[in-house]
Amino acid sequence: MKITGTFIDEISHDIPHQNWGRAEWDADFAHMKSIGIDTVIMIRSGYRKFITYPSTYLTKQFGCYAPSTDLVELFLQLADKHGMRFYFGLYDSGTYWDTGNLQPEIDTNRFVIDEVWQRYGHYTSFGGWYISTEISRRTKGAIEAFRTLGLQCKSVSNGLPTFISPWIDGKKAVLAASATLSKADAVSVNEHEREWSEIFEGIAGAVDAVAFQDGHIDYDELPAFFEVNKKMADRFGLQCWTNAESFDRDMPIKFLPIKFDKLRLKLEAAAKAGYDKAITFEFSHFMSPQSAYLQAGHLYNRYNEYLDTLI
């Protein structure tokens, strides 16, 4: 299975910022295009006070810092240039992570969605929306949040597609700041299916695709979870994507580019389950030849060799 989409993590939260300008981003879009990536997803338009575009609303409401470059505009211009589809990731105020309450994320993003579509909706490459709130289980208010925001995104943009990227609450679902690599209270396949069937039923029609993060379960668990994910997505009319994480969760250093064979195992499991699309988190740090991590360029080379075997 080929990776055809990537997140762009420009509000770097737990990985180092690469301080790229237009030239570096332009080169990276060209590298993405060369391996078949046709979709770029800005993972979030802001996190707490750091934002990617000069938002009048967020600056006034939260005292957000004005960015030196309008990155939303830059990414849309580059997506136009390289013939890619751009998905806009919604704003993350941080309130949900602090309190568990999703209502502030709904209230804030209703203004962000309207503001962004007014400013950038004319770009040819503006192709969809990413509802950036990440959950793993049957989180209180999640159905309402996804449904409300998904329907508004569609309403303002004449039905452009929406997607979410939750994580599976597996043995490797530990906090990035934690020194541990695994936990004992992992979700079972049956629990996962029961909880996410309820969520999918509630968001059908408002969310078009789900891309579960694939790094929180062990490699021998991939087939069972992937089979269930595809079955649920088909049942409720969602596309089933995989978020093939290109960083390694098995090492005490967080986070470094993944060993190629681990990425290959995950992509092959997604292909066997009949997934519709593979995206990654994320090309620029963990797979790009110009990444700050030397290993990322080597992963890019190994992945290109893998593509040759598929051809």
pLDDT level of residue 136 (50, 70, 90 thresholds): confident
pLDDT in tens, 169-205: 888 867 776 667 666 788 999 999 999 999 999 999 9
Q: How much is the average pLDDT of 279-296?
A: 98
Beta bridge partner(s), residue 209: 163, 239
Here the tokens at position 70 are 């309008």
Whether the per-residue pLDDT at 220 is higher than 70: the answer is yes
Q: How much is the average pLDDT of 22-49?
A: 98
pLDDT at res. 11: 76
Q: How much is the average pLDDT of 210-224?
A: 96
Euclidean distance between CA atoms 228 and 270, whole angstroms: 11
The structure tokens 């075997």 sit at 309
pLDDT in tens, 1-25: 999 999 999 877 788 999 999 999 9
pLDDT in tens, 70-90: 999 999 999 999 999 999 999
Q: Please, is 222 exposed, middle or buried when counting C-beta atoms within 10 Å of its C-beta (0-12, 13-18, 19+)?
A: buried
CA-closest candidate to residue 46, choices 16, 90, 1? 90
CATH topology of domain 3-310: TIM Barrel (3.20.20)
> Which helix (H) or strand (E) covers residue 243, if one does?
strand 239-243
DSSP per position, 24-58: HHHHHHHHHHHTT--EEEES-SEETTEESS--HHH
Q: How much is the average pLDDT of 157-177?
A: 88
Beta bridge partner(s), residue 46: 51
Question: Model's pTM, two decimal places?
Answer: 0.96
Euclidean distance between CA atoms 234 and 237, whole angstroms: 5
8 A C-beta contact, residue 14 and residue 255:
yes
pLDDT in tens, 222-278: 999 999 999 999 999 999 999 999 999 999 888 999 999 999 999 999 999 999 999
Whether the per-residue pLDDT at 163 is higher than 90: the answer is yes
CA-closest candidate to residue 119, choices 152, 91, 154, 157? 157
8 A C-beta contact, residue 1 and residue 271:
yes
Here the tokens at position 33 are 């295009």
Euclidean distance between CA atoms 79 and 102, whole angstroms: 31
Q: How much is the average pLDDT of 14-41?
A: 96
Show the CA angle centred on residue 201, arms to residues 191 and 127, nearest 5°.
115
Q: How much is the average pLDDT of 214-221?
A: 94
pLDDT at res. 172: 85
pLDDT at res. 181: 64
pLDDT at res. 173: 66
pLDDT at res. 29: 98
pLDDT at res. 184: 76
